[in-house]
Every structure is written in C-alpha cells, then in structure tokens.
Copies of this chain bind each other. A is one copy, B any other.
Amino acid sequence: MENKFDEVVEKLRFLDGVTKKSAKRMAIDLVNKNNKIENAQEALDIIKNDLGQCPTCFYMTIDNVCPICSDPDRDKNLIAVVSTMSDAMTIEEIHDYNGAYAVLNGEINLSKNITPDKLTIDKLFNRTNKNTELILALNSTFNGELTANYIRDIARQRGIKYTRLARGIPVGGVLDYVDEKTLSDALKNRKKDD
C-alpha cells in the first residue's frame, strides 16, 4: 500500500532540515487539508518565481534585487565571507552589520569532493581591491577552518586585509546556532588574522 505515500516522503525528505520522520509528519498533516496544500503550493510558487541568488554576492534576491548589493549605505569594502545564505541571514538578524557578503555556497570538503573551484571563491576575489577587508565568518569546524585558511592564503598573496570573527564562537560551534549577542560581539571584536 505504502508506495505512493513512500514516494511522497522520499520527495520531501531530501530537503535541508527535513528528516524522514518530519517528512512523514508533514505528508500526513497535508492529507485531506486542501488549505494547507494550497499554502505550501503558494510557498513553492513564490520561491520559484520571486526568490533567487545574487550573481555578485550570492545572497538571496527578491524580484531579482539583492537587498545588500543594491543598498548604497552598505560598505562594499567590508565583505563577510560566509558558507551559506542562511549564515548571512543570521548575521542580518542582529541588525548590527553594515558591510556586504560573499556567500561561498558551501565549504571545502575534500571527502565529498567539494574543491575550492566548486565554491564562489573566484567571484569573491573579483570584488576585492586594496581597500577591501574580508571578515572570515566561517564555521569553527574542520571544513570551515580549511576553507578560511584557503581564502586567507589568497588574500595574503594579494595583500588584502582579512579578519576573523572573535573567538566568541565556541570551538566546534556551528554559526547557525549561535545566539545574537555572541554573534554581535564576535563581529565587533573581530581580530586581524595571522
């Protein structure tokens, strides 16, 4: 019997943040609830038609406009380098950062064959000049550090200033789960990285 239901679960569980159990719960919740199905369909339509990724900084665009790159008050020489759109949005939520972003779309991960060329690192260095400061706001994990080191090496060769978030981020901590106060302090106390 479970064929079509299992198919639904398989189609939902590949999404970020969705486990097999939560995919099942979502699917069961949607059965016989036409208003919930419509809501979800509308959400997908908005994502498909109105949301995208900025070709410059890879932050989320709405109706093809990047709220960061299009804002003249943002300091474009200050670039926070983050691994995901979600991390950039987490920094936005502290309402305390006035620079730009470079979303890498991932981290270097050699065991998963994610080499530096799979990320947006070349696009990042197209934007840098002698006045640029890169804030390395990457996860304090093995692959996060690996990615930060790689970018630091290029920046050093090119004479570009780089800093990292203050050690307010606990070792092994994932940026997405850090509270706002810690993140805000870590931004303010960012250190020259050497």
Interface residues, chain A, with chain B CB atoms under 8 Å away: 1, 3-5, 7-8, 11-12, 14-18, 21-32, 34, 36-37, 39-44, 46-48, 50-53, 60, 62-63, 67, 84-86, 89
Contacts and interface: CB of A to CB of B under 8 A. Distances in A.
A92 to B, nearest CB: 8
Contacts of A26: 15-18
A46 B40 CA distance: 13
A25 B31 contact: no
A3 B43 CA distance: 12
A51 B1 CA distance: 11
Number of copies: 2
B29 A17 contact: yes
B27 A43 contact: yes
Contacts of A24: 17, 86, 89
B50 A36 contact: no
